[in-house]
């Protein structure tokens, strides 16, 4: 697996891109990351909680591409690597900016580089958020939980065993294992983040009646 690191110095990047930024801890990156727009933040959330993604890095890599009108340099907003080793390079742009010559040239360079090297390029716009308001709200709350509450492996295992035969609500799980509801919620979220459990995050907000299903581990 390629060892990517952010191409921008954190402090110089903060000065360059202004105040619309998110500074947060990413479990998958194993460090604090800096994101420079709400679009980058939402794209990050989807990647952080996608169990098929095992690694991510923001602002990487920096590329240099020879185009017809000269050399174009660019930095991707995010690179992700999935469990099969597939690398996806993401650029986040608002739709209103896609017709700007500078943006068109940037995307041309990125797509050329990805095609040349056999990688996938992904353009993430605000249209990717349509109909996902509940999911985004949940993921924002989930992200806060996994940052503030430690994972408890023994509790995760107890919940996994309890869900072997059928799904159960968070409230029922708490009653079965006789643990505080708040602790069970936190551990269910950790399990969801790791891909142990599935939750209907697109259709309902986090609540004690949310149904939890166990996901069988791949051989």
Q: What are the structural domains, with CATH classification, of the chain?
A: 10-129 (3.40.1350.10), 133-214 (1.10.10.10)
Residues 107-116 have pLDDT tens digits of 999 999 999 9
pLDDT, tens only, 61-93: 999 999 888 899 999 999 999 999 999 999 999
pLDDT at 218: 61
- Of 187, 207, 183, 205, the C-alpha closest to 197 is 187
| Confidence tier at 16 by pLDDT (50, 70, 90) | low
Average pLDDT over residues 178-182: 96
Residue 126 has pLDDT above 90, yes or no: yes
Which residue, chain included where needed, has tokens 């059928």? Answer: 166
Instruction: State mean pLDDT over 32-45.
Output: 96
**pLDDT above 80: residue 38:** yes
- Check residue 191 and give its pLDDT: 98
Q: What pLDDT score was predicted for residue 14? A: 52
Which two three-digit tokens encode residue 154? Answer: 């023994």
Q: Tell me the pLDDT of the chain averaged across its residues.
A: 93
What's the pTM value of the predicted model, to 2 decimals?
A: 0.93
Is the pLDDT at 44 greater than 80? The verdict is: yes
Taking only Cα atoms into account, the Rg of the chain, rounded to an integer number of angstroms, comes to 20
């Amino acid at each position: 697996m390629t060892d990517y690191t952010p191409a921008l110095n954190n402090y110089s990047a903060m000065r360059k891109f202004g105040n619309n930024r998110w500074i947060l801890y990413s479990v998958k990156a194993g460090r604090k990351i800096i994101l420079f727009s709400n679009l980058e933040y939402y794209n990050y959330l989807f990647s952080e909680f996608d169990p098929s993604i095992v690694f991510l890095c923001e602002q990487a890599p920096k590329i240099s591409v020879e185009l017809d009108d000269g050399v174009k340099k660019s930095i991707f907003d995010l690179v992700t690597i999935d469990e099969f080793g597939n690398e996806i390079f993401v650029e986040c742009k608002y739709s209103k900016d896609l017709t700007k010559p500078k943006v068109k040239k940037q995307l041309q360079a990125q797509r050329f580089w990805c095609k040349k090297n056999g990688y996938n390029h992904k353009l993430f716009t605000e249209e990717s958020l349509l109909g996902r308001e509940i999911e985004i709200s949940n993921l924002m709350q989930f992200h806060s939980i996994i940052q503030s509450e430690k994972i408890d492996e023994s509790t995760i295992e107890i919940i996994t065993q309890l869900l072997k035969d059928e799904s159960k609500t968070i409230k029922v799980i708490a009653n079965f294992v006789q643990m505080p509801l708040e602790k069970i919620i936190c551990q269910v979220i950790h399990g969801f983040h790791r891909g142990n459990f599935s939750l209907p995050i697109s259709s309902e907000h986090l609540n004690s009646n949310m149904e939890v299903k166990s996901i069988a581990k791949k051989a």
